[in-house]
Amino acid sequence: EAQVTQNPRYLITVTGKKLTVTCSQNMNHEYMSWYRQDPGLGLRQIYYSMNVEVTDKGDVPEGYKVSRKEKRNFPLILESPSPNQTSLYFCASSSRGRDTEAFFGQGTRLTVV
Amino acid sequence: EDQVTQSPEALRLQEGESSSLNCSYTVSGLRGLFWYRQDPGKGPEFLFTLYSAGEEKEKERLKATLTKKESFLHITAPKPEDSATYLCAVPTSGTYKYIFGTGTRLKVLA
């Protein structure tokens, strides 16, 4: 089954404690991206990757890092989380980047206290 | 600046009461406009892509249309299972970034 898998689904952490949210897709897609979703602000893109070792900033990259060492994986790293990073996070993948629809993961609800 | 605006923010319909959702966009050289459906607590699910003004696509009770300034998602004779948030998105000019509208929350009452 074609899917995008994120882990964990839920995470509560404390300010400053480094964390990683994993994302994996099994569709051999070139394009992967991370979004955060906040009430009233909608989905905002954090980072995206066009292919292995190629990443670029979205609209809200501050406080986040990403890496793309393998085509199927695109982890999101918060080196020093802060309460304003409390949000619902989605990973997505698609083929050929901007020309095709995105497949989204189930979401990771992160709370930073 | 590239922008996507959706209206209304929320919409309540009786079962069978048809209506339309709007997605207005400002982007240079549109390379596609995407519609997604999102159920509470889940990731968005793809519905349609429209590429040029005048294009229309249909799926069950949904029909999406596109002009040079906006897109409409028409819902004909909706059912309670159509209740969800509907999102539109466009790729931005000259980059590989996507911007999403804030969505329309649709509630269909039985």
Residues in chain B: 110
- Using a CB-CB cut-off of 8 Å, the residues of chain A touching B44 are 43, 90, 102, 104
Q: What confidence tens digit (pLDDT) does each residue in A68-107 have? A: 999 999 999 999 999 999 999 999 999 875 568 899 999 9
Amino acid A1: pLDDT: 85
pLDDT category, A60, cuts 50, 70, 90? very high
Could you tell me if B44 and B73 are in contact, meaning their C-beta atoms sit under 8 angstroms apart? no
Q: CA of A78: how far to CAs of A13, A18, A22, A32, A83, in Å?
A: 11, 6, 11, 18, 12
Q: What confidence tens digit (pLDDT) does each residue in B63-83 have? A: 999 999 999 999 999 999 999
% of chain A at pLDDT higher than 90: 88
Looking up tokens 């900033």 gives: A57
CA distance B24 to A71: 34
Amino acid B97: pLDDT: 86
Scan residues 60-89 of A and list those with Cβ closer than 8 Å to B: none
Positive/negative CA dihedral, B47, A40, B3, B70: positive
Amino acid A22: pLDDT: 98
Question: What ranges in B1-110 are assigned the alpha helix state H?
Answer: none
Looking up tokens 């892509």 gives: B49
DSSP reduced 3-state for A91? strand
Q: What confidence tens digit (pLDDT) does each residue in B80-103 have? A: 999 999 999 998 877 778 899 999
- Least CB-CB distance to A105: which of B43, B87, B103? B43
Positive/negative CA dihedral, A4, A7, A13, A18: negative
Question: How much is the average pLDDT of A29-42?
Answer: 94
pLDDT category, B39, cuts 50, 70, 90? very high
Residues β-bridged to residue B5: B24
Amino acid A92: pLDDT: 96
Contact: B31, A105; criterion CB under 8 Å: no
What is the DSSP secondary structure assignment for residue A59, as one 8-state letter?
S
